[in-house]
């Protein structure tokens, strides 16, 4: 299944999936313009999926609804998403055109954040990034760590469709945490080449993230040791390692 990242703003991606008839699924349209340009005079989209309430993910919905009235808008139950037509919650199956997705609750970046998994794809908004993860605006380290663990347990060949192109900056931090990891070194080289050529680094494969992303590797001795060194104290469990990494990253300058 081919998912297309439409660049928006400075570093967002709006994800587009198209069926054989040209009808689309649109994920997290923070801006309507790239979607209107991509879909042109084609048929209306099957649906819009939203992962969380932030403006850079939902800001274009009203304009898309003005263009294609009645398009279903799936979103987590949250009064801050006024444009939703159907609330989803963890475990729900969302049927969109020929596709089926399972909803996963992934609180932490925001309290109501969800991800959609199906068709070999994962739309994870601002929860999981390639070589990184979202900031914790409305959750604890334990919550965010559990949300990432839920995503990391999906099949390794899942294509991870993150909502931001942060990979190059994330690679610098990942290498600071886990410098001896050969899989990470190879991925960082590949990322530099992709960005130098103006190409997206996404989607990434979940198996690759499990091998390279320090936020999914809190149980690895090298990652734990680096987190403890930086925190200057022993860390009791993987969630504490995760929390220490998140604090480290928040202050990190490459």
Binding site for Fe ion (CB under 5 A): 56, 126
CA–CA separation, 28 vs 202, rounded Å?
15
Token pair for residue 217? 């590797």
Q: Is 56 a catalytic residue?
A: yes
Q: Is 250 a catalytic residue?
A: no
Q: Determine which one of 52, 53, 113, 117 is catalytic.
A: 52
Selected from 47, 73, 123, 126, the binder of Zn ion by CB under 5 A is 126
Task: Give the β-pairing of 99-105 and 114-118.
Answer: antiparallel
Q: Is 54 a catalytic residue?
A: yes
Does 238 sit near Zn ion (CB under 5 A)? no
The answer to whether 190 touches 184, Cβ cutoff 8 Å, is no
CA–CA separation, 98 vs 121, rounded Å?
14
Q: Determine which one of 109, 113, 117, 145 is catalytic.
A: 109
Q: Contact region for Zn ion (CB under 5 A) — 53-61, 85-93, 116-124, 227-235?
A: 53-61
Which CB sits closer to Fe ion, 163 or 235?
163
DSSP annotation of 94: E
209 binds, among Zn ion, Fe ion, none (CB under 5 to 8 A by kind): none
Q: Is 164 a catalytic residue?
A: yes
DSSP annotation of 216: G
Does 54 sit near Zn ion (CB under 5 A)? yes
Which residue blocks in 27-166 are alpha helix, DSSP H?
33-39, 55-58, 61-67, 141-152
Q: Is 230 a catalytic residue?
A: no
Token pair for residue 230? 């930086």
Does 53 sit near Zn ion (CB under 5 A)? no
Binding site for Zn ion (CB under 5 A): 54, 126
Catalytic positions, please? 52, 54, 56-57, 109, 126, 164
């Amino acid at each position: 299944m081919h998912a297309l990242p439409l660049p928006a703003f400075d570093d967002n991606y709006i994800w587009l999936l198209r069926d054989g008839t040209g009808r689309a699924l649109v994920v997290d349209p923070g801006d309507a313009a790239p979607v209107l340009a991509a879909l042109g005079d084609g048929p209306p989209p099957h649906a819009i999926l939203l992962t969380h309430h932030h403006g850079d993910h939902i800001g274009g919905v009203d304009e898309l609804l003005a263009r294609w009235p009645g398009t279903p808008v799936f979103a987590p139950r949250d009064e801050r998403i006024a444009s939703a037509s159907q609330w989803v919650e963890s475990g729900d199956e969302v049927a969109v055109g020929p596709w089926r997705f399972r909803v996963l609750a992934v609180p932490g970046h925001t309290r109501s954040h969800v991800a959609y998994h199906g068709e070999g794809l994962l739309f994870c908004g601002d929860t999981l990034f390639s070589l990184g993860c979202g900031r914790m605006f409305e959750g604890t380290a334990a919550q965010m760590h559990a949300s990432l663990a839920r995503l990391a347990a999906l099949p390794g060949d899942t294509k991870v469709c993150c909502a931001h192109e942060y990979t190059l900056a994330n690679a610098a931090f990942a290498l600071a945490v886990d410098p001896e990891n050969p899989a990470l070194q190879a991925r960082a080289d590949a990322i530099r080449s992709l960005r130098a050529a103006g190409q997206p680094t996404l989607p990434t494969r979940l198996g690759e993230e499990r091998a390279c992303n320090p936020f999914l590797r809190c149980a690895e001795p090298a990652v734990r040791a680096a987190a403890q060194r930086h925190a200057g104290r022993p860390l009791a469990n993987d969630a504490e390692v995760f929390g220490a990494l998140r604090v480290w990253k928040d202050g990190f300058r490459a």
